[in-house]
């Protein structure tokens, strides 16, 4: 098959760019640990309120000084409603849904998690700046979808 010289140059340039892009993404993901939210634990979506840790959702300080926020999404809100966490500390968000698919998305951050019934999703994040952060559901969940929001209060430690 005949390839024009300029086309060869163009394709080599494109493929090199591709390799560089993918290397950057790959190194950032697997060497520096910047992977999108995920998790492999399952839960009975009908028994969320009876299953640990979602039987007692809330904010917990762990032994190593980091925090875990355990949160349940349900039409059309979050449980617990408003939470308070410290600035500068690593927060592990642990979320699931007790009904349909939602999201847990903190505006202005990279916390943008799908909340899927039957699955438990995790994401680590450190808030550097204190303030009030808006949390919204950005996956359609029903007639009240656009009312589904809450806030996270990030306070100076």
Collapsed DSSP state (helix, strand, coil) of residue 24:
helix
Q: Per CB under 8 A, does 82 bind another protein?
A: no
Give the residue with the Cβ less far from another protein, 15 or 61: 15
| CB closer to another protein out of 62 and 146 | 146
Region from 24-32, 60-68, 77-85 binding another protein, contact rule CB under 8 A: 24-32
Binding mask 103-122 for another protein (x = CB under 8 A): x-x-xx-xxxxx-xxxxxxx
Work out whether 155 is an interface residue with another protein (CB under 8 A). no
Look up tokens 């847990």; give the residue: 104
Contacts of residue 19, defined as CB under 8 A and 6 or more positions apart, other chains included, come to: none
One residue of 69, 72, 85, 136 binding another protein per CB under 8 A: 136
Give me the least distance between CB of 8 and another protein, in Å please: 10
Contact 132, 153 (CB under 8 A): yes
Task: Give the CA count within 13 Å in the CB-facing half-sphere of 44.
Answer: 7
DSSP SS3 for 10: helix
């Amino acid at each position: 098959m005949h390839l024009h010289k300029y086309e060869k140059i163009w394709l080599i340039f494109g493929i090199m760019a591709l390799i560089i892009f993918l290397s950057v993404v790959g190194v950032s993901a697997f060497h520096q640990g910047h992977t999108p939210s995920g998790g492999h634990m399952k839960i009975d979506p009908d028994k969320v309120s009876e299953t640990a840790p979602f039987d007692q959702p809330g904010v917990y300080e762990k032994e190593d000084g980091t925090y875990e926020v355990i949160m349940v999404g349900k039409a059309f809100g979050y449980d617990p409603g408003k939470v308070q966490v410290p600035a500068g500390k690593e927060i592990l968000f642990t979320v699931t849904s007790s009904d349909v698919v939602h999201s847990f998305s903190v505006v202005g951050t990279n916390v943008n998690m799908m909340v899927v019934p039957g699955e438990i999703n995790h994401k680590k994040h450190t808030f550097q700046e204190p303030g009030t952060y808006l949390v919204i559901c950005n996956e359609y969940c029903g007639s009240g979808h656009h009312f589904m929001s809450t806030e996270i209060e990030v306070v100076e430690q």
